[in-house]
Amino acid sequence: MTENMIENTSSNDGQEKIGVYVCHCGTNIAGVVDVVQVAEWAAKYLKHRGVVIAREYKFMCSSLGQELIEKDIKELGLNRVIVAACSPHLHEKTFRTACANAGLNPFLCEMVSIREQVSWVHTDKAAATAKAKAMISGGVERVRHHVPLEPMTVPINPATLIVGGGIAGIQSALEIADAGFHVYLVEREPSIGGHMAQFDKTFPTLDCSACILTPKMVDVGSHPNITLLTWSEVEKVEGYVGSFTVTVRKKARKVDEELCTGCGICQEKCPKKVIDNVFEAGLGYRKAVYTPFPQAVPNFPVIDVPNCTYYEKGTCKACEIFCAPKAIVFDQQDQILTLKVGNIILATGYDLFDARRMTNYGYGRLPNVFTSLEMERLFNAAGPTNGNVVLRDGKTTPQSVGIIHCVGSRDKNFNNYCSVICCMQSLKFAHLVHERTGATVYNFYIDIRAAFKDYDEFYQRVLEEGTLFVRGKVAEVSDVPRVESEKGKLIIQVEDTLIGKQRRIPVDMVILSAGLEPRKDSKETARTFGISCSANGWFTEKHPKLDPVATMTEGIYIAGCAQGPKDIPASVAQGAAAAARVLGKIEQKAVALEPIRASVVEERCSGCRICNGLCPFNAITFHEDRMVTEINPALCQGCGTCVAACPAGAITGTGFSNDQIMAQIEGLMMLNVEPEPVAA
Amino acid sequence: MCSGRLDPTFVFKALASGADGVMITGCHPGECHYIEQNYKALRRIQLMRRTLQGFGLEPGRIRLVWASAAEGNRFASEVAAFVEEVRALGPLHWGKNGNVPSIAAPAAIQKEEVPA
């Protein structure tokens, strides 16, 4: 679009031919707003403001509805379109495309949200109808000041950043790398694998978790298209879809990755034992120089600086002495890497609910109360007990075990939501305890949620194995006996809601099926990447049903538990889905950016430099020679702060100009329509 | 539109056009989609309150609410509370229409708003 045409359109005041289209959205809007009356009103009372036609239709977004608009543009010569329907998030693109199909610049179409902002939030029909009219009046006034815009296209960098090396991130990385594009996989722990690497068996098939995970980890480690950055964290993200600049801190491993052969002699010789709170869930030890587990990818160890004797006392260096390739580098520093990528996938996973918060269950106070993650390590043949299910003393096999569901989930005191995996995980524990120890197993549940393929069959199987199910939320786990038979046991106090009685069930071991929570730092992560998260801290998807892996920030996708609790198959599906979305973007080669940008009219700029310090995107530069400010359209994100700040009115924002907003305010306040009798 | 785009004249324009109160909403501090521009809005709000007082108006006719997309209930209750506060302050009668009730608000509310 040339400058001339823009000026022509904006200056042909009185020449606007506006079409107003009011959507029923079935009964979504029409149930509350009198849409027929609204359309009639717009045609009559906004006629002098350029409205030449106002229609209502059942579903404006349907192909018939769109054809209606296209036909009117062609036959009536409309040069502005107002669609009063849902939020522009949903259908702005639909109607802009319809306008473009009929030869109208898509940015001459404006949506008025009378569903999300009117019918869905009001019950008073008369008031809602009046509000819809006011909002349409605002839209009409605004659209008169719209000018044709051309979207800016920017090339897409084919490289992708994936944050989080759990199963979701691994799946995404492999999908994209296999398609021939480069991936940077950033993981903050020393190895990829995530929570899945800690598990023993996976429900409902009882596949060995490591057996199905480690081949994928090895694929990631050896893939020519994947740059694996473990023991690293993203510090800063700048830019926009197609060209993000990401700053990554590669923490000092104190081990030279070029020289290290992964032989493991350093771990063997290190004299310092440290309780492993991450991988072994506090049940086992690791050395101060360590790889979290034998199949770690990459297999280079990390020196745990706060626990290493050398950093504490200045002597030891046992690892350095025994390292044949001389790979130990005590003075290695953190590295700051700058990555250029076009798209980002966040698969940062979850944290386990801290069972100590439910003090009535005694975790941390009563030794034989275990969390689900601890149990995973106890069951695991590579775990601290070589797969033997024993009490905290390390030798006694339990004769009776109580598994408590919904710990920290479906509980108004902690988290209202269902953590999805705990029922199936508890059933898996019931099966494994039964198989390994022959103990009597009780499951204390509120409801059993065994949805999805083969899950309920697994529940039936566990029932048939003789596991006992007690329906009721456990009140307390106590070690204070009331009768002889309770001595030395943990007593589970529960109301059995199926027989309507309080019961006290003595057991040797209690397993708390703790829920899933967002990562403690998920809100900071969301801020770093410019996406939003729910009040809990789960990342918010673009649409809960139809766009579950995209976010409101273009070019940033989410997968796995970072979006909400889910099991392994769902995480893998999301990882692959996010990868498919990224591949789709890469194949487009270029992306059209909203032409919502600020620009400086140099003749009006006084060179006061007030705007210079306001831009967080460094899009504003000041030309000392000409004493004027200029805005780089590729860096401008369209927030409009500089537009509002300019005392000379020299900065204009396309799509949100002062004229547009002022006119919209007048329209909303109905200053443009002749006052109608109140009774109407 | 980012709250950083808020030109104080928009608020006065709304009041001058017949609004009795203006609510400005934005992302929570530290959660701005445009990094930090809501802080700019915060500064401008202070300026607007002082200007309002200079006009002899109650600063309570302007309210700033931080709300995230996940806080629908909170947003609704803030709107309801603000409506009650502005109703208590009474109509401003600044609009072009003067005392003619605007059809933007239902008749029932208009009647209540007339001070005794």
At the topology level, CATH places domain A4-149 in Rossmann fold (3.40.50)
| Mutation for testing the A interface, residue in B7, B28, B36, B110 having most A CBs under 10 Å | B7
Chain segment B59-93, per-residue pLDDT in tens? 999 999 998 877 889 999 999 999 999 999 999 88
- Break chain A into its structural domains and give their ranges: 4-149, 265-322, 351-517, 598-654
**Planar angle of CA A524, A529, A533, nearest 5 degrees:** 60
Is residue A3 pLDDT above 60, yes or no? no
Indicate the pLDDT class of residue B27, thresholds 50, 70 and 90: confident
**Do A531 and A549 form a contact (C-beta atoms < 8 A)?**
no
B97 pLDDT tier (thresholds 50, 70, 90): low
- CA geometry: angle A619, A624, A628, nearest 5 deg: 60
pLDDT at A11: 37
Radius of gyration for the alpha carbons in chain A, expressed in angstroms and rounded: 31
Query: Residue B95: pLDDT band by 50, 70, 90 thresholds?
Result: low
pLDDT for residue A665: 94
Q: Which two tokens stand for residue A349?
A: 């996973």
pLDDT digit string, tens, across residues A619-677: 899 999 999 999 988 778 888 999 999 999 999 999 899 999 999 999 999 888 865 55
Are the beta carbons of A472 and A442 closer than 8 angstroms? Answer: no
Residue B96 has pLDDT above 90, yes or no: no
Cβ density class A611-641: b for 16+ within 10 Å, e for less: beebbbbebbeeeeeeebbebeeebbbbbbb
Q: For residue B1, what pLDDT is reported?
A: 82
From CA A116, how far away is CA A128, in angstroms rounded?
Answer: 12
CA distance B57 to chain A (A): 20
**Contact assignment for A671 to B2 by CB distance below 8 Å:** no
Residue of B nearest to A527 (CA): B31
Map residue B40 onto helix, strand or coil: helix
Residues A472, A330 contacting (CB under 8 angstroms): no
* Global ipTM: 0.84
At A12, the pLDDT band (50, 70, 90 cuts) reads very low
| CA gap A176, A341 in Å, rounded | 13
CA distance A29 to B97: 30
**Among all residues of chain B, which has the CA nearest to that of A662?**
B10
Q: Which of A523, A535, A644 sits opposite B71 (nearest CB)?
A: A535
With an 8 Å Cβ cutoff, are A661 and B104 in contact? no
User: Is the CB of residue B26 less than 8 Å away from at least one CB of chain A?
Assistant: no
Interface residue A678 vs chain B (CB under 8 A): yes
- Per-residue confidence (pLDDT) for residue A674, from 0 to 100: 65
Confidence of residue B35 (pLDDT cuts 50, 70, 90): confident
Q: Does B105 touch chain A (CB under 8 A)?
A: yes
The pLDDT, as a whole number, for residue B72 is 87
* Closest C-alpha among B52, B54, B43 to residue B21: B52
A508 vs A672, residue with greater confidence = A508
pLDDT at residue A82 in the model: 97
Segment A13-47, tens digit of pLDDT: 558 899 999 999 999 999 999 999 999 999 999 99
Q: How far is B21 from chain A (nearest CA, A)?
A: 12
Question: Which pLDDT belongs to residue B110?
Answer: 46
What is the CATH code of the structural domain delimited by A351-517? 3.50.50.60
Q: Residue A366's CB: how many other CB atoms inside 10 A? A: 15
pLDDT band at B31 (very low <50, low <70, confident <90, very high): confident
What pLDDT, in 10s, does the model give residues A460-479?
999 999 999 999 999 999 99
Peptide bond into A595 cis (omega under 30): no
Whether residue A669 and residue B95 make contact (CB cut-off 8 A), yes or no, is: yes
Percent of chain A at pLDDT exceeding 90: 86
Q: Do domains A4-149 and A351-517 have the same CATH topology?
A: no
Out of 3.40.50.150, 3.40.50.300, 1.10.4080.10, 3.30.70.20, the CATH code matching A598-654 is 3.30.70.20
